[in-house]
Amino acid sequence: MFVRSFFLVVASIVAFGGCAAPESASTATEQPDVAATPDPDWPQFSIPIDCTLGEDCFILLYPDRDPTSGVVDFSCGTQTYDTHKGTDFAVADATIMARGIPVLAAAPGRVLRARDGVADDRVDSNEERQSLEQRGIECGNGLVIDHGDGWETQYCHLRNGSLAVEPGTEVERGTVLGLVGMSGLASFPHVHMSVRHEGQVVDPFVGLADETGCQVDRRSMWDRQLEYEPTGLVRAGFSDRFPNANSLWNGEHYEKELSTNIDEIWFWIHRYGVREGDVEQFLLLDPRGGVVTDYEQTVEEFSLSSPSAVGKRNTPDRPILPGTWRGEYQLLRDGEVLIDIDREIEVR
Ligand SMILES: [Zn+2]
């Protein structure tokens, strides 16, 4: 039997600059997602991205409803960062982004302003962030649509050169505005959508409300029920090195097979919204079905998104065997399974 005497385990909590800012935060009590009644006087918004939530895209960050330096999203979770003004509809990485994911108008209206020409560079340092802020291009390539009666939506971080509309363009619900990108103050590929009424930020999961915080009456402005899923999988796979946030969001680690000559083999998970106390279970099996790693760990710190992985070194006495390697992973919270996946890779 293959010996499990050597394995490495790393759960790297890599904070990322949201649209920009990385902060962990304590977890508040979550409010159940109750059906909200729309207000007939407000616009209804469809999601601004051409994909299926929960399948090929996901909401990574919500508007921050805490007026202080703390953070809270509409459902009393903390999947946001301080002063975040919009909803971030994300795809898994720059490889998916490169396929060309359309950004769509959330409601009919007229384009007021638009900008293109900003590079799709992932921001991962304070220097890059400050530079973008000084130049006033945090939104990157984006646009604002006027929906009448004081309502506006803004779309940010579109792909460089992809804008399909200009000021004055009349759009319908679903009109293609451009493509999902990573321009401006963005550290993952997504479209950030902000809603404003008479210049004031509105959380579309709540609607117009005088109260801040999450214990408020909610009248969703979305044209469908959107599930609140503050924790989930971005992507998972195998690699010959431990992936970091930069390599994952930039779309690396798509290996279909690995060589027996590699120094290490890693089974990795890129997940979002893990919380202190969550339990992660890893199982790594070699081609003979031998258990290389059977490991459980408790998450120590909330993170907006970060990778976690188990791996094995290639040594003369315990080499990385050719054949099909298999990884299994579960994320559990209070006994409930939130992520349950398995992956395989060929080693030749
Ligand atoms: Zn955002």
Ligand 1 mean position, distance from CA 85 (Å): 7
Q: What is the DSSP letter of 277?
A: T
108 DSSP 8-state letter:
S
Checking if the pLDDT of 187 tops 70, the result is yes
**Helix, strand or coil for residue 265?**
strand
Report how far residue 65's alpha carbon sits from residue 72's, in angstroms, rounded to the nearest whole number: 5
Q: Is the pLDDT of residue 6 over 80?
A: no
Q: Which of 238, 132, 243, 232 is nearest to 182 (CA)?
A: 132
Measure 87 CA to ligand 1 centroid, in angstroms: 6
Per-residue pLDDT, averaged over 222-239, amounts to 96
Contact 157, 191 (CB under 8 A): yes
> For 266-289, how does the pLDDT look when each residue is reduced to its tens digit (9 = 90+)?
999 999 999 999 999 999 999 999
- H-type alpha helices, 36-80: none
Query: Residue 18 has what pLDDT?
Result: 36
pLDDT digits (tens, 9 = 90+) for 33-87: 545 567 888 999 999 999 999 999 999 999 999 999 999 999 999 999 999 999 9
Tokens read off for 297: 């760990």
CA–CA gap between residue 281 and residue 327 (Å, rounded): 10
Percent of the chain with pLDDT over 70: 89
Question: Residue 101 is encoded by which pair of tokens?
Answer: 């994911």
111 contacts 155 by C-beta, under 8 angstroms: no
Residue with tokens 């103050």: 185
* Distance in Å, CA 86 to ligand 1 centroid: 5
Residue 34 Cα to ligand 1 middle (Å): 24
**How far apart, in whole angstroms, are the C-alpha atoms of residue 176 and residue 232?**
28
Contacts 24+ apart (CB under 8 A), 295-299: 295/7, 295/9, 297/9, 297/11, 299/11, 299/274, 299/275
pLDDT interval class at 230 (50, 70, 90): very high
Task: For residue 223, report the distance from its CA to the centre of ligand 1, in Å.
Answer: 20
What is this structure's pTM? Answer: 0.90
C-alpha 190 to ligand 1 mean position (Å): 8
Q: Are 103 and 248 in contact (CB under 8 A)?
A: no
Residue 40: its pLDDT value, please?
81
| Distance in Å, CA 156 to ligand 1 centroid | 8
Distance 187 CA to ligand 1 centre (A): 10
For the cut 50, the answer to whether the pLDDT of residue 209 exceeds it is yes
The CATH 2.60.40.10 portion of the chain extends over 8-15+231-347
Q: Are 229 and 203 in contact (CB under 8 A)?
A: no
Judged against a pLDDT cut of 50, whether residue 172 lies above it is answered with yes
* Strands 109-115, 190-197: pairing kind: unpaired
| CATH number assigned to the domain with residue range 8-15+231-347, chosen from the 4 options 3.40.50.2300, 3.40.720.10, 2.60.40.10, 3.30.360.10 | 2.60.40.10
Q: CATH class for domain 58-202?
A: mainly beta
Distance from Cα 343 to the centre of ligand 1, integer Å: 30
Edge-to-edge strands, sheet with 264-274:
8-11, 303-313, 264-274, 232-239
- Residue 101 Cα to ligand 1 middle (Å): 17
Strand partners for 104: 176
Give residue for tokens 């050719």: 322
Residue 175 has pLDDT above 90, yes or no: yes
Provide the residues around ligand 1 (an ion) whose CB is within 5 A: 19, 86, 88, 192
Q: State residue 11's pLDDT score.
A: 41
CA of 27 to the centre of ligand 1 (A): 20
Nearest to 185 by CA among 119, 250, 114, 234: 119
**Centroid of ligand 1 to alpha carbon of 165 (angstroms):** 21
Lowest mean pLDDT among 28-32, 280-284, 330-334: 28-32
Distances (CA, A) of 162 to 123, 138, 182: 20, 17, 12
> Is 60 exceeded by the pLDDT of residue 28?
no
Query: Ligand 1 centre from 192 Cα, in Å?
Result: 4
pLDDT at 260: 96
Q: What percent of the chain has pLDDT over 90?
A: 88
Residue range(s) occupied by CATH 2.70.70.10 in the chain: 58-202
In angstroms, the CA 143 to CA 156 distance is 7
pLDDT of residue 19: 42
Å from CA of 194 to ligand 1 middle: 8
Mean pLDDT, the chain, whole residue set: 90
CA proximity to 310, closest of 298, 333, 328? 328
Beta bridge partners of 200: 197
- Inform me whether the pLDDT recorded for 179 exceeds 90: yes
For residue 292, which of 335, 246, 345 has the smallest C-alpha distance?
345
Q: Are 76 and 215 in contact (CB under 8 A)?
A: yes
